[in-house]
């Protein structure tokens, strides 16, 4: 077993029956909701209510009215408007939503996404100078800007107003902007705090649409982009995010825009039902690749083009750059593992901090995430270039990496991010003391035993409990993601059935049998355990999620094994 299994708590059987009967749910699905603290009539109705009419009023952002008034003035007066974004998928989709939306409203609008190798992350003086050169009078930042105090002051000195649309945590004082739309700002009256950057951008467009008297569908046409950005940013998929992503996925599946159609065609996904997993593991890496390797502008052009041929041309570029990104990923990952093996005592280190000259800054976030998953602890990777360390951090649920950076800001030049992912810049000579400080801080937050990876089991189930009602109920729980993860099931005393093979990149493929029921199974990166499973008269206890797979036009159920025990 790789994980320590956390088995589901005993439920209130009477309450499970009540939920099951009231909402026509399979008892297993009802028990999962109960254990996820979705129990009362109000909680259950809110969970299943994914109607667009249930979206919150965008004017609940306390400064939304001010922002909308300023933008409408710019539209009416023919001012040059600049959408200033970030180069990740959340930023790219946020830029695309406002850039295309305001353009269709008749606005004189352009966009700017910084090159991570030239201007770096976020709002910068170099970026503002480029806005000035375009004779811009209004800058709207998306997925960035909440910590840009000096830069906003500089923009005002240059005669430009700034509206900030962000979802990151502020770092103390707020910029002196015309309006700030960020649900995480202290005192913000917006009821849902976990919107992605593209979600905040959508709420702004929704508010402008309403104020101008446009049909609601004008804003809703961008829900597909909201779904892509929200899923890719790994934010909570509850409440309003759940509504946005559900409807956005429906659009992606029924009528993808030309650029997305081209991307799906290039990935061999046309005709297959897209899910959050499809976005996270297939679409997002390709959209991210151009921002990591060259320029994220290509991704915006892909998402806003009306030409299928142009979409196909850009999609081919994204595919090529994603392959290049993968090669750099592998090389950096192997180098990082070697450094850990040679320099770090994993028996005592709670946080991994690694630094190296000229690691590619576009991939250190991905590699930090892979190292965190492999070694089950927070990881900070720093690339030293031109005398400055630029780092990306990924963290586990028991350690708030952004809060840690706040406490250790005296070691850093700059930082930003949120609980699970953050970035920093640091003077190279201070990396060693920062390493010691963050590990000392972590000692007070969690024990070494807490680094044993845990797997929450939602339900213990037998194969004979699977029926149409069960699978129908499971589908109603989608879309799955943080805060609403795909349920993990445990089934005991399974037999393997037929051949056990290793396919692809070390993936285990087999069939599992219990009684008369046989189900296909795959275990990603578990191919090294094939011989163990092939021994005769062995039984398995499996922890897994259930996926639908598509092959030759047929849909089948497949176990995706997350962990197992052979006995």
pLDDT in tens, 145-191: 999 999 999 999 999 999 999 999 898 899 999 999 999 999 999 99
Cβ distance 241 to 194 under 8 Å?
Answer: yes
Quote the pLDDT of residue 1: 83
Residues 6+ apart with CB under 8 A from 66: 178, 179
* Residue 381: band (very low, low, confident or very high) from pLDDT cuts 50, 70, 90: very high
> What is the pLDDT, as a whole number, of residue 272?
87
pLDDT computed for residue 510 by the predictor: 96
Query: H or E element: which one contains 518?
Result: strand 517-523
User: Is the distance from CB of 149 to CB of 120 less than 8 angstroms?
Assistant: no
Query: Does the pLDDT at position 10 exceed 90?
Result: no
| Beta bridge partners of residue 507, listed in sequence order | 503
Question: What is the CATH T-level fold of the domain 4-11+457-566, as seen in this structure?
Answer: OB fold (Dihydrolipoamide Acetyltransferase, E2P) (2.40.50)
pLDDT at 239: 97
Residue range 244-255: average pLDDT?
97
**Cα 72 to Cα 94: distance, rounded to the nearest angstrom:** 19
Q: Is the pLDDT of residue 308 over 90?
A: yes
pLDDT higher than threshold 80 for residue 523: yes
Give the DSSP per-residue string, 56-90.
Answer: PPGGGSTTHHHHHHHHHHHHHHT-EEEEE--SSHH
pLDDT of the residue at 190: 98
Per-residue confidence band for 106, with pLDDT thresholds at 50, 70 and 90: very high
Provide the CA 499 distance to its chain's centre, in angstroms: 36
What angle separates helix 284-293 from helix 223-232, to the nearest 10 degrees?
70
β-pairing verdict for 459-460 and 507-514: unpaired
pLDDT at 118: 81
Assess whether pLDDT exceeds 80 at residue 117. no
* Class of 344-451 in CATH: alpha beta
Sorted by sequence, the CB contacts under 8 Å of residue 355 that are 6+ apart come out as: 381, 382, 383, 384, 389, 391, 428, 431
What per-residue confidence (pLDDT) applies to 172? 84
Give the residue from 181, 168, 226 showing the smallest Cα distance to 60.
181
Instruction: Single out the residue of 163, 88, 102, 100 nearest to residue 131, CA to CA.
Output: 163
Query: By C-alpha distance, which of 255, 228, 235, 246 is closest to 475?
Result: 246
Question: Can you tell me the mean pLDDT for 90-117?
Answer: 96
CA distance 377 to 450: 9
Under 8 Å between Cβ of 494 and 512: yes
Q: What is the pLDDT of residues 469-494, one digit of tens each?
A: 999 999 999 999 999 999 999 999 99
Angle CA 288–292–294, to nearest 5: 110
What digits encode the pLDDT tens for the residues 387-432? Answer: 999 999 999 989 999 999 999 999 999 998 888 889 999 999 999 9
Say what angle helices 364-375 and 308-343 make with each other, to 10 degrees. Answer: 50
Q: Among 283, 264, 280, which Cα is nearest to 481's?
A: 280
Give the per-residue pLDDT at 120: 78
Cβ(278)–Cβ(252) below 8 Å: no
CB 345, CB 370: distance < 8 Å: no
Can you tell me the distance from the alpha carbon of 228 to that of 167, in angstroms, rounded to the nearest whole number?
16
pLDDT band, residue 55 (cuts 50/70/90): very high
Q: What is the pLDDT of residues 524-556, one digit of tens each?
A: 999 999 999 888 878 999 999 999 887 776 778
CA 264 centroid distance within chain: 19
Is the pLDDT score of 45 beyond 80? yes
Q: What is the 3-state secondary structure (H, E, C) of 274-332?
A: CCHHHHHHHHHHHHHHHHHHCCCHHHHHHHHCCCHHHHHHHHHHHHHHHHHHHHHHHHH
**pTM across the whole model:** 0.92
Mean predicted confidence (pLDDT) in 241-255:
97
Whether residue 367 contacts residue 338, with contact meaning beta carbons closer than 8 Å, is answered with: no
Query: With the C-alpha atoms ordered 507, 561, 89, 453, is the resulting torsion angle positive or negative?
Result: negative
Q: Strands of 414-417's sheet, edge to edge? A: 352-357, 379-385, 388-394, 421-426, 414-417
Q: Give the pairing of strands 421-426 and 352-357.
A: unpaired
Q: Residues 139, 127: contact at Cβ < 8 Å?
A: no
E strand spans, 150-199: 161-165, 179-181
User: Is the pLDDT at 497 greater than 80, yes or no?
Assistant: yes
User: Largest Cα–Cα distance of the chain, in whole Å?
Assistant: 79
Check residue 435 and give its pLDDT.
98
Architecture of domain 54-219: Alpha-Beta Complex (3.90)
Is residue 253 within 8 Å of 308, Cβ to Cβ?
no
Average pLDDT over all residues of the chain:
95
The pLDDT value recorded for residue 551 is 72
Position 496 confidence tier, pLDDT thresholds 50, 70, 90: very high
The predicted structure's pLDDT at residue 431: 98
- Could you tell me the residue ranges of all domains in the chain? 4-11+457-566, 54-219, 344-451
Band (pLDDT 50/70/90 cuts) for residue 292 is confident
């Amino acid at each position: 077993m790789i994980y320590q299994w956390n088995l589901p708590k005993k439920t209130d059987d009477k309450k499970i029956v009540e939920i099951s009967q009231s909402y026509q749910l399979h008892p297993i699905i009802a028990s999962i909701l109960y254990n996820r603290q979705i129990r009362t009539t109000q909680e259950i109705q809110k969970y299943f209510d994914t109607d667009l009419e249930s979206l919150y009023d965008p004017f609940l952002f306390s400064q939304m009215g001010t922002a909308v008034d300023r933008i409408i003035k710019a539209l009416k007066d023919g001012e040059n408007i600049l959408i200033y974004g970030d180069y990740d998928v959340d930023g790219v989709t946020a830029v695309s939503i406002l850039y295309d939306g305001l353009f269709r409203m008749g606005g004189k609008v352009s966009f700017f996404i910084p090159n991570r190798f030239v201007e770096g992350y976020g709002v910068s003086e170099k970026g503002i100078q480029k806005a000035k050169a375009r004779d811009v009078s209004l800058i709207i930042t998306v997925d960035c800007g909440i910590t840009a105090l000096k830069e906003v002051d500089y923009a005002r000195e240059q005669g430009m107003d700034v509206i900030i649309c962000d979802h990151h945590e502020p770092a103390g004082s707020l910029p002196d902007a015309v309006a700030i739309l960020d649900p995480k700002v202290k005192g913000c009256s917006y009821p849902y705090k976990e919107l992605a950057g593209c979600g905040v951008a959508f709420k702004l467009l929704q508010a402008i649409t309403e104020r101008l008297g446009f049909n609601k569908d004008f804003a809703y046409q961008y829900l597909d982009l909201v779904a892509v950005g929200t899923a890719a940013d790994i934010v909570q998929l509850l409440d309003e995010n759940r509504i946005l992503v559900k409807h956005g996925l429906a659009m992606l599946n029924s009528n993808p825009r030309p650029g997305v159609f081209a991307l799906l065609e290039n990935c061999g996904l046309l005709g297959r039902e897209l899910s959050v997993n499809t976005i996270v593991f297939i679409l997002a890496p390709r959209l991210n690749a151009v921002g990591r390797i060259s320029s994220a502008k290509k991704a915006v052009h892909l998402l806003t083009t009306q030409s299928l041929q142009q979409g196909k041309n850009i999609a081919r570029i994204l595919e090529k750059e994603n392959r290049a990104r993968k090669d750099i990923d592998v090389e950096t990952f192997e180098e990082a593992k070697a450094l850990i093996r040679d320099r770090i005592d994993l028996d005592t280190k709670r946080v991994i901090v690694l630094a190296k000259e000229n690691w590619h800054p576009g991939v250190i976030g991905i590699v930090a995430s892979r190292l965190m998953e492999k070694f089950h602890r927070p990881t900070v990777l720093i690339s030293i270039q031109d005398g400055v360390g630029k780092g990306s951090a990924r963290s586990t649920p028991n350690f708030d990496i952004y809060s840690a950076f706040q406490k250790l800001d005296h070691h850093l030049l700059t930082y930003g991010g949120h609980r699970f992912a953050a970035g920093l810049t640091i003077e190279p000579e201070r990396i060693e003391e920062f390493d010691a400080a963050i590990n000392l801080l972590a000692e007070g937050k969690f024990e070494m035993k807490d680094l044993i990876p845990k797997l929450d089991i939602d339900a213990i189930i037998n194969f004979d409990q699977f029926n149409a009602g069960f699978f129908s109920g499971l589908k109603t729980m989608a879309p799955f993601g943080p805060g609403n993860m795909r349920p993990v099931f445990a089934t005991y005393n399974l037999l393997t059935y037929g051949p056990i093979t290793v396919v692809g990149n070390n993936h285990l493929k087999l069939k599992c049998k219990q009684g008369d029921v046989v189900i296909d199974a795959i275990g990603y990166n578990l191919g090294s355990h094939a011989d163990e499973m092939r021994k005769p008269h062995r039984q398995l206890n499996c922890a897994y999620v259930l996926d639908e797979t598509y092959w030759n036009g047929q849909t089948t159920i497949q176990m995706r094994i997350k962990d197992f025990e052979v006995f």
